[in-house]
Amino acid sequence: MGFDTSGLLPLSDALQGMLEQLACCCDSEQLPLPEALGRVLASDIASPLAVPPFDNSAMDGYAVRLSDLASGTPLIMAGKAFAGQPYQGEWPAGHCVRIMTGAPVPEGTDAVVMQEETQADGDRITFLAQPEPGQNIRRAGSDIGKGACVLPAGTRLTPREMPLLASLGVATVAVRRPLKVAIFSTGDELKPVGTPLAHGDIYDSNRYGVRAMLARLGCDCLDLGIIPDDPAQLRAAFIRADDEADVLITTGGVSVGEADFTKQLLDELGEIGFWKLAIKPGKPFAFGRLPRAWFFGLPGNPVSAMVTFDQLVQPALAKLAGQRFERPLQLQAVTTEPLKKSPGRLDFQRGILSQGPNGLEVRSTGSQDSAVFSSLSWANCYIILERERGRVAVGETVTVEPFGGLLL
Ligand code: AMP
Ligand code: MG
Smallest-distance ligand from the CA of 306: 1
Q: What is the pLDDT of residue 147?
A: 95
Alpha-carbon torsion (334, 338, 399, 329), positive or negative: negative
Mean per-residue pLDDT for 222-239?
Answer: 95
**Considering 320, 351, 372, which residue would you say is the last residue of a domain?**
320
Residues with Cβ within 6 A of ligand 1? 185, 187, 189-190, 202, 204-207, 251-255, 258, 299-302
Which residue's alpha carbon is at the smallest distance from atom 4 of ligand 1?
253
Task: Determine which residue's CA is closest to atom 10 belonging to ligand 1.
Answer: 301
Residue 133, domain CATH: 2.170.190.11
pLDDT in tens, 184-228: 999 999 999 999 999 999 999 999 999 999 999 999 999 999 999
Q: For position 260, what pLDDT does the model report?
A: 64
Report the separation in Å between the CA atom of 268 and the middle of ligand 2, taken as the mean of its atom positions.
20
| Paired strand residues for 30 | 174
Domain presence at residue 224? yes
Which ligand lies nearest the alpha carbon of 252? 1
* Confidence band for 63, pLDDT divided at 50, 70 and 90: very high
Q: Domain holding 367: CATH number?
A: 2.40.340.10
Among 25-34, 184-193, 266-275, 364-373, the range scoring the smallest mean pLDDT is 364-373
pLDDT(107) > 80: yes
Question: What atom in ligand 1 is closest to the CA of residue 204?
Answer: 20
* Ramachandran area for residue 253 (φ above 0: left; ψ -120 to 50: alpha; else beta): left
Question: Does residue 312 share a domain with residue 248?
Answer: yes
Same domain? For 171 and 37 the reply is yes
Same domain, 161 and 124: no
233 shares its domain with 275: yes
Residue 190 belongs to domain with CATH number: 3.40.980.10
Reduced to 3 states (helix: H, G, I; strand: E, B; else coil), residue 20 is: helix
- Domain presence at residue 338: yes
Q: Which ligand is nearest to the CA of 183?
A: 1
pLDDT value of residue 1 = 40
Asked which of 138, 168, 190 is the last residue of a domain, the reply is 138
| 3-state helix/strand/coil string of 194-244 | CCCCCCCCEECCHHHHHHHHHHHHCCEEEEEEEECCCHHHHHHHHHHHHHH
- C-alpha torsion sign, points 238, 239, 240, 242: positive
Q: Say if 3 falls within a structural domain.
A: no
In the Cβ-directed half-sphere of 308, how many Cα atoms lie within 13 Å? 32
Residue 85 has pLDDT above 90, yes or no: yes
Quick one: pLDDT band at residue 264, thresholds 50, 70, 90?
confident
Do 130 and 104 touch, CB atoms closer than 8 A?
A: no
* pLDDT tens per residue, range 285-341: 999 999 999 999 999 999 999 999 999 999 999 999 999 999 989 999 999 999 999
Which amino acid type is present at position 93? A
Q: How does pLDDT run across 1-36, given as a tens digit for each residue?
A: 456 777 899 999 999 999 999 999 999 999 999 999
Q: How confident is the model at residue 381 (pLDDT cuts 50, 70, 90)?
A: very high
Residue 6 resides in a domain: no
Domain membership of residue 246 as a residue range: 11-26+178-320
Least trusted range by pLDDT, from 3-7, 110-114, 227-231, 267-271: 3-7
Q: If you average pLDDT over residues 123-130, what whole number do you get?
A: 95
Statement to judge: residues 288 and 193 lie in one domain:
yes
Inter-residue contact 42 to 175 (CB < 8 Å): yes
Query: Is residue 272 included in any domain, yes or no?
Result: yes
What atom of ligand 1 comes closest to residue 185's alpha carbon?
A: 19
Please check whether residues 183 and 268 belong to one and the same domain. yes
**Are residues 38 and 171 located together in one domain of the fold?**
yes
**130 CA to centre of ligand 1 in angstroms:** 75
Looking at residues 135-153, what average pLDDT do you find? 96
Which atom of ligand 1 is nearest the CA belonging to 253? Answer: 3
Pairing of strands 271-276, 149-151: unpaired
Please tell me the number of the ligand nearest to residue 193's CA.
1
Shared-domain flag, residues 164 and 190: no
Q: How far is the CA of 186 from the centre of ligand 2 (A)?
A: 6
132 and 212 in one domain?
no
Residue of 199, 206, 260, 306 to test ligand 1 pocket, by largest number of atoms within 8 Å of CB: 206
Residues 235, 214 within the same domain: yes
Of 89, 119, 138, the one marking the end of a domain is 138
**Average pLDDT value over all residues in the chain:** 94
Ligand 1 geometric centre to CA of 304 (Å): 10
Burial grade of 399 (CB within 10 A; 0-12, 13-18, 19 or more): middle
Identify the CATH number of the domain in which residue 39 sits.
3.90.105.10
Q: Is residue 1 part of a domain?
A: no
Atom of ligand 1 nearest to the CA of 304: 8
In this prediction, residue 368 carries a pLDDT of: 85
Longest dimension (CA), the chain: 96
> Total domain count for the chain?
4
Q: Quick one: pLDDT band at residue 374, thresholds 50, 70, 90? A: confident
To test the pocket of ligand 1, the residue of 195, 201, 202 to mutate (highest count of ligand atoms within 8 Å of its CB) is: 202
**Whether residues 188 and 121 fall in one domain:** no
Q: Quick one: which H or E segment has residue 76? A: strand 75-81
Ligand 2 centroid vs 207 CA: distance in angstroms?
13
Residue pair 302/204 in contact (Cβ under 8 Å)? The answer is: no
pLDDT band at residue 257 under the 50/70/90 scheme? low
Residue 202 lies in a domain: yes
Ligand 1: distance of its center to the CA of 331 in Å? 32
Residues 148, 118, single domain; the answer is: no
d(CA 31, CA 188): 44
Q: Is 309 within the bounds of a domain? A: yes
Question: Three-state SS across 298-319?
Answer: ECCCHHHHHHHHHHHHHHHHHH
Which residues have C-beta within 8 Å of that of residue 83, sequence separation ≥ 6?
A: 56, 100, 101, 102, 103
CA of 200 to the centre of ligand 1 (A): 12
Q: How confident is the model at residue 256 (pLDDT cuts 50, 70, 90)?
A: low
Q: Residue 121, exposed/middle/buried by CB under 10 A (0-12, 13-18, 19+)?
A: exposed
Q: Which of 312, 295, 195 is nearest to 253 (CA)?
A: 295
